[in-house]
Each structure stands twice: as C-alpha cells, then as structure tokens.
Chains A and B, each alone.
Chain A
Amino acid sequence: MSPLDPLLSSPYVQMMRVHFDGHGDELTAILPYADTLVGNPLIPALHGGAIGAFMEITASAALLAGTRLAALPKPIDVSVDYLRPARPQDVYARGIITRQGARVANVRVEAWQDRRAAPVAALHGHFLIKPEGES
C-alpha cells in the first residue's frame, strides 16, 4: 500500500484528477487541465480556488510521503499568494515540510506551469497530523 493511498481515495482528489509523480524523495503533484478548472474564461485563467485546493492536496501528500500517518492531515490555516494568472494547462506543485512537530506541521508549496522558476502561486500553512502509533 502506498502512503498516498488515503489521499488518492478521497472523492474530491479523484474529481480534480490530481495524481503524483515520485522520484526518490522528490514528489511532484500534477493537476491535469480540464475545462471545469477555469475560473475566468475571458482571461482565460484557472480558478484561484482550484489552485489553492490543489496546493492543499500537495501539502497533504508531502506529509503522507514523509511520515506514516494514521489519518489524513487536516489544514488548520493556509495562506495563498497568487503570483501569476494560471493559464489553461496542467499545473505542477511540490511541497516542503518546513517544520514537523508531534501534532502540527508547517508546509510550504509552490505551484508552476511552464517554468518552475516562475511559480503561479505559493502556499504556506499549518496542518494537524496524527503520526501512526501515537494516541
């Protein structure tokens, strides 16, 4: 069983068709383009909420990949900076665990499209975690 299975069995994650590409300890989340992700068709740009949700999923994946958890991480607070309009194409994201305690983890995520050096959005947030074997 992959540590990401609990996340991949989430109906919302399945609806967004988010999947992951792991190489060693590098994990990239992929949000495949769909017409239903567009927020404003006149720009056109993907919905900011979809990008934010995708980055929250990426943060959960980073935590699940790093530690054995008894439950899905729960967001406590998140802050999203929108840096560029996200074009109607695939979005990629990677999460970094800045600090992980026994109950709370601080995670940073960057999302990009054509160039990783030109991120479309960045998230940082705190997540409640429940490491396996602890009550």
Chain B
Amino acid sequence: MADDLQTLLDSLAPLLVEGSPHAVALGFRLERIEPGMAEMRAPYRDDLIGDPDTRVLHGGVVAALLDHACGLAAFAGLGGRDATATLDLRLDYMRPAEPGRDVVAIARCIRASGLFAFVSAIAHDGDESDPVATAAAAFMVSRVSQEAAEKARRAFGKSATPISKVEEE
C-alpha cells in the first residue's frame, strides 16, 4: 500500500511544484515527497529580499514556502488522491533567515482522515534543530479543489494511471 502510494507520489512529483506558477516564480524546488511528508527548498534570491538593509528574505517567501510544503504533506497524507484547500495557516517566525542561505521547509501530516488533514512544519536554513519558522495548518478536501483534481485526471488521461489504480482499491 505504502509502496503504491510512493509510486503514485513519485509519478506526480514533477507536477506538484512545476504545476504551480507561483511556486515556479519563487524558484521553489521539491526535495522529497513521501506518504504524509514533503520537503521543499526556496533558493536564496536577491529579488526575494524583504529588507534591503539586512538582505533577509521576506517573511512572505517563507510563508509561501511553508504553505506549499504543508499543502503537499496534506495531499500525500490523504493518500495522494484528493486536492485540498487550506483552511488556515499559523506561522511563528523564530528568527530571520541568514542572508545568502536557502530556506528548506519540512512538512509532516500529523493526522489525515476523511475530509481533513492537519500538518505541522518547520523551515530552516541549514540546521533542522534551529528553525527560522514553524507552521501549523489545517486542510480540507473541498468541492472546488476536487473539481480541479478531476480536471487534472482528464487532462493527463492515461499518463495518470497510478491515480486510477489507487482509486480502484
């Protein structure tokens, strides 16, 4: 089961970031996606600086990275079938990210059942035990996002066989 889900996630991985124009615009890269877990990187970029005096990345970039990583962990936690909508996202900014360093978000789905998934995440700039920010988010399978998932299945047709395989189980 878990292996099937991993196969499914691997087959979808290229779409999970590149399918999102905003994630592409910010240069996000998917590092890892596993059942209930996602890791994503935001490479340091001058045009993402918030305060030119400190050259620290804008909090909004870290927010977008955590939001996206949490969404992927929820998706992977719900079995990779259902598209989700974010209900809320709570962010704690522990310290400024070091200028020049990439920020990496690691999101874990704490619980997924039925329509809801709860995710906890950290963002760090090199040392996981010294996070720059943490996040907690709740997701729900919504009608709007389900319709989008249906569209994706139709659009990718036969190339999306792993999805139909999971659905039959």
Binding site for B on A (CB under 8 A): 6, 9-16, 35-43, 45-50, 52-54, 56-57, 71-72, 74-82, 85
Contacts and interface: CB of A to CB of B under 8 A. Distances in A.
Contact of B22 (A13, A50, A82): A50
A21 B98 CA distance: 33
Interface string B106-145: 0000000000000000000000000000000000000011
Given A10-B58, A12-B58, A80-B89, 11 more contacts: A11-B49, A12-B60, A12-B61, A39-B68, A47-B23, A75-B91, A76-B93, A77-B91, A80-B90, A81-B88, A85-B144
A43 B145 contact: yes
Q: State the 4 A-B residue pairs at the shortest beta-carbon distance, nearest first.
A: A53-B60, A49-B64, A47-B22, A12-B58
A13 B58 CA distance: 9
Interface in B125-169: 144-145, 147-149, 151-152, 155
Main secondary structure of the interface of A (DSSP, over half): mixed
Contact of B148 (A37, A40, A75): A40
Q: Which among A12, A56, A78, A85 has the highest number of chain B CB atoms within 10 Å? A: A12
B17 to A, nearest CB: 11
B65 A49 contact: yes
A42 B25 CA distance: 17
A80 B71 CA distance: 14
A80 B67 CA distance: 10
